[in-house]
Amino acid sequence: MKNYNHTKIPSAIKKAGAGKEKKVKEYNHLKIEHKWQKVWEDKKLYEVKNGTKGKTFVGLIEFPYPSGAGLHVGHIRSNTAMDIITRKRRMEGFNVLYPIGWDAFGLPTENYAIKMGIQPQKITKTNTDVFRKQLKSIGFGFDWSREINTTDPGYYKWTQWIFLQMYKKGLAYKAKTSINWCPSCKIGLANEEVVAGECERCGTETTKKVKEQWMLAITKYADRLDKDLDKVNYLEKIKIQQRNWIGKSEGSEISFKIITDKIFSSGPQVNSPEWLGKDILGNNFVKVFTTRADTIFGATYVVLAPEHPIITNYKLLITNWKEVEAYIKQVKDKKDIERMAEDKEKTGVELKGIKAINPATGGEVSVWIADYVLATYGTGAVMAVPAHDERDFEFAKKYNLEIKEVISGGNILEKSFTDDGILMNSGKYNDLISEDARSKITEFVGGKIVTKYKLRDWVFSRQRYWGEPIPMIHCDKCGIVPVPEKDLPVLLPKVKSYKPTDSGESPLAIISKWVNTTCPTCGGKAKRETDTMPNWAGSSWYYLRYTDPNNKKELAGKKALRYWMKNGVDWYNGGMEHTTLHLLYSRFWHKFLYDLKVVPTSEPYMKRTSHGMILALGGVKMSKSIGNTVDPKDIVNIYGADTLRIYEMFIGPFDQTVSWNTESIIGSRRFIEKVWRLGLKVSEKEAKKNNQNSSRFIPEGPYTDKNFDYSSSLQTLLHKTIKKIGEDIESMSYNTAISSMMVLVNEMEKAESIEEKDFKMFLQILAPFAPHITEEIWQSLKEKKSIHKSIWPKWDKKKIIDDIIKIAVQVNGKVRAEITVGRDTEEEEVKKMAQKDKNIASWVENKEIKRIIYVKGRIINIVV
RNA sequence: GCCCGAGUGGCGGAACUGGUAUACGCGCACGACUUAAAAUCGUGUCUCGUAAGGGAUGUGGGUUCGAUUCCCACCUCGGGCACCA
């Protein structure tokens, strides 16, 4: 791959970039950009007050994680996009809040701290300082007076406070779950630190370790999280991803009786009440969850998740226990994703010695355990209907199990038939359609209709240092006691080593001074919770804090929240990679806060859009190790912030992944320079006009045709462009917005002269994209106020209508000619003109015209 | 494996709701200006063909007067899969 040195200054801009004072005023981006950034800051142009009269608008970007790598060009892409929207809103008269902060807790900082022995606090300070400086150099309209940081005790006090409220409402609870464990390093690992089943640091194969952890009961909100998606304006694909993640499905819970060899060899009576009492283990049935109760007559075996608790209860009765035990052990260390990813080859083991009874047929079926059944979904057990389920079909083929067809319409010898259809081989339910059969059969077998969610509760504990301490105290006498609200925040203490302990606990566990405390209830000896919160905690509510960042009594004042958040955040843009976790978690927290009457809306974000990533040249990820990263600082120095902004918006469709190509930036720079030269031309003309009182400029150049009114044609284009830019910004079609501004600029160049008022309108629509150069030219044209506080221009309806329209003429769908007609020409007239056309005549002659299709103002198709 | 996207010139991409495929930009070629170069401006630039005309939007099929757009099947690439954020 070509390795382009992006720090090399292209000869095209050397002259201007050097900033020599010449007779002709050169475009010196560094001077202009520094100048206006300082002016805006001094005048507090982007700072807003709570309570100002008028409409409000809150534009939100995902606040960055201040990594040591510095600002990525990807940050600039998404920030510029929202910067453009908020600047437009400001010009439309809204009181605009465009805030910024730092999502600064997290693993990379902690790992760096461990490696270098530097305090995470210090690293965070260094990194945020770099990020702040870099962001400011791009000219974003952030309100820096509201900057927040999740690692600031004044901030995480409220993160902890929310957790306490959740605990009070029973949404925070403790449960045993497993964590990744490296037996060699003796530390718990994040999923990311486990690469192909091995510890990222030492290469040892990882295992799982069961730990008691804090959980948040997000599943209690599953239904509302699903239903309320109807209320918000998210991109459709985002809604779909959220819905699929929540995974709501209506189905049936049906019990299958378990019988053992012992019992049925002595002559069991299926369905006999006596038999029920005979099972000494008390586990005489297994519940399955199915969305296809209509296929139950075809259920030829039952499959349990290997973790299913019922299995160990039957230990003594299962005749191949050794084999079963070995299989369970083998499965245990795999992640769900790996279990399902094992392409095609499904594995499983039969539980010999026990059987289940199909409640519909009354027949005996075998019981298996297999890794394709997940303990965490449904009931952890399925009835297998190989004829009508793909996975069951594969499994049945492999282990030679019966495949019984109960829905007609497929060819089950070849593959499973998974559609709904008409029942067969199903006793008295034959000939019913699936939909009706589901409820009837469920009732018949004594099952019940239930709603299940794929969504699982949120594992909220981390055995790490660099996170918010969970504000809980363990007392021998009183049990788990929450830290009283008045004692918040529970501060992160300074430690010597940030390394997790070899017992699997957080580094906080070894600071006895901090751990040992007194019980708030009884005053006796007690210990603090040493687990910390995940990174998601601080980012689940940060947007609220921007409304009132320094409040010491509440997470944000009621008045401030009502002022800014009466609709929630108006527009939130972020990465597609956050659509399932962060977005769902913060919606959950927001709904909880709504129930507490802390926030005025039930949804945090009115509108959510997403951006694509920026990859390096060749479509690979930018990474330090490959050496293909791009430092925005270099681009700003060489080309300027305005050029960088234009380039990043022009690079490709905003919602799609794009590749960075430094060679192409020059195109954006040329565009900016053309604007600059036009600006000079307009201001020179202004100067002349003032001196000589000269009359209106008469255009020269290519448009000397007497009938061609160039200035009116340019105005048509200008007004069309104003309309298009407005629409394109709203639909985030920045790349086409810029291309149409390029078209306009090219035309204005040809015109040799432009009316000042027209040029100013153009500057205004360019201003959100390139705020510095437009401000410079604007104020050089004797404007006193900032262009960013000017009124967004209105396009004129009368000016955007073309009088003459070109219509393509097709014969049998192929374009053969083009005719020009007046705007109001009648259909019949157009048809006649088309047939008379020279080119068309030769195609049509001696042929029978079957049909003529006319699409007004576009196309005419003659079918022969 | 499951869920969500994407695939168009040498390259980034455009095309409204099914209506002239390749706008805009990069690159390249030629020309103007210049002692020269850079910058700038102009012209050309999907492909086969002298032309008439034909072919081309990942692949194969379908619907339609007409398909980049709709339907079916497949291939490739990207994002997510719950402890990276």
pLDDT along chain A (864 residues), means of 10: 50 48 69 97 97 96 92 94 97 97 92 88 95 97 98 97 97 88 77 75 79 92 94 91 89 88 44 36 75 93 87 84 87 62 69 91 92 83 89 86 87 78 91 90 92 89 93 95 96 86 86 94 95 93 97 97 97 89 94 97 95 85 81 94 97 92 93 94 72 36 40 86 96 95 92 86 97 96 95 91 82 85 83 84 81 86 86
Please tell me the distance from the alpha carbon of residue A219 to that of residue A417, in angstroms, as a whole number: 32
Per-residue model confidence (pLDDT) at position A19: 37
CA torsion angle A191 A196 A200 A205 (round to 10): 100
Query: Which nucleotide is closest to the Cα of A621 by its C1'?
Result: B78
Which nucleotide across the nucleic acid strands is nearest to A671, CA versus C1'? B25
What's the Å distance between residue A842 CA and nucleotide B55 C1'? 22
The alpha carbon of A265 is separated from its chain's Cα centroid by a whole number of angstroms, namely 58
Closest nucleotide to the alpha carbon of A653, via C1'? B13
AA letter at A527: K
| C-beta of residue A54 within 8 angstroms of C-beta of residue A94 | yes
CA–C1' distance A688–B17 (Å)?
A: 50
Nucleotide nearest to A580 (CA to C1'): B80
Q: Among all strands, which nt has the closest C1' to A861 (CA)? A: B65
Tokens 């499965």 sit on residue = A331
Listed in sequence order, the residues at least 6 apart from A843 whose beta carbon sits closer than 8 Å to its beta carbon are: A811, A816, A862, A864
How many Å apart are CA A666 and CA A109, to the nearest integer? 36
Closest nt by CA–C1' to A850:
B65
The DSSP line for A515-543 is HEEE-TTT-SEEEE---B--THHHHTSHH
The CA–C1' separation of A461 and B82, in angstroms, is 13
What Å value separates CA A238 and C1' B33?
55
Q: How distant is C1' of B64 from CA of A479, in Å?
A: 73
Distance from the first to the final alpha carbon of chain A: 53
Interatomic separation, CA of residue A675 and C1' of nucleotide B32, rounded (Å): 23
ipTM, 2 dp = 0.93
Task: Record the pTM.
Answer: 0.89
In single-letter form, the type of residue at position A10 comes to P
Nucleotide nearest to A178 (CA to C1'): B83
B14: residue with closest CA to C1': A736
Q: Distance, angstroms, CA A827 to C1' B74?
A: 44
Q: What is the 3-state secondary structure (H, E, C) of A446-471?
A: CCEEEEECCCCCEECCECCCCCCECC
CA of A661 to C1' of B26 (A): 9
Measure, in angstroms, how far nucleotide B22 C1' is from residue A85 CA: 30
Distance A612 CA to B78 C1' (A): 10
User: Kindly report the CA angle at A648 between A642 and A650, in degrees rounded to 5?
Assistant: 100
Measured in angstroms, what separates residue A440's CA from nucleotide B23's C1'? 60
Backbone φ, ψ for residue A36 (5° rounding): -75, -30
pLDDT for residue A822: 82
Q: What pLDDT shows up at residue A10? A: 65
Residue that the structure tokens 């189905």 belong to: A251
Distance A649 CA to B12 C1' (A): 12
CA A112 to chain centre: 27
In whole angstroms, B8 C1' to A652 CA is 14
Residue at shortest CA–C1' distance from B20 = A808
Please give the Cα distance from A225 to A834 (Å, whole number).
Answer: 57
Nucleotide with smallest C1' distance to residue A742 CA: B24
DSSP label at residue A95: E
CB-proximal positions of chain B, under 7 Å:
1-6, 11-16, 19-21, 23-27, 38-42, 54, 65-67, 77-85
Residue with tokens 């009354």: A362
**Distance (Å) from CA A681 to C1' B25?**
24
Phi, psi for residue A356 in degrees, rounded to 5: -125, 160
Which of the nucleotides lies closest to A818 (Cα–C1')? B20
> Which nucleotide's C1' atom has the smallest distance to the CA of A668?
B25
So what's the pLDDT on residue A616? 86
Residue nearest to nucleotide B67 (CA to C1'): A813
Give the burial class of A170: count Cβ atoms within 10 A of its Cβ; 0-12 exposed, 13-18 middle, 19 or more buried: exposed
Nucleotide nearest A839, CA–C1', reads: B52
Report pLDDT for A264.
Answer: 45
Q: A851 burial class (0-12, 13-18, 19+ CB within 10 angstroms)? A: exposed
Give, in Å, how far the C1' of B25 lies from the CA of A623.
Answer: 27
Distance A71 CA to B5 C1' (A): 26
Helices and strands: H and E segment counts in chain A: 29, 32
Q: Which nucleotide is nearest to A741 (CA to C1')?
A: B24
Q: Which nucleotide is nearest to A674 (CA to C1')?
A: B40
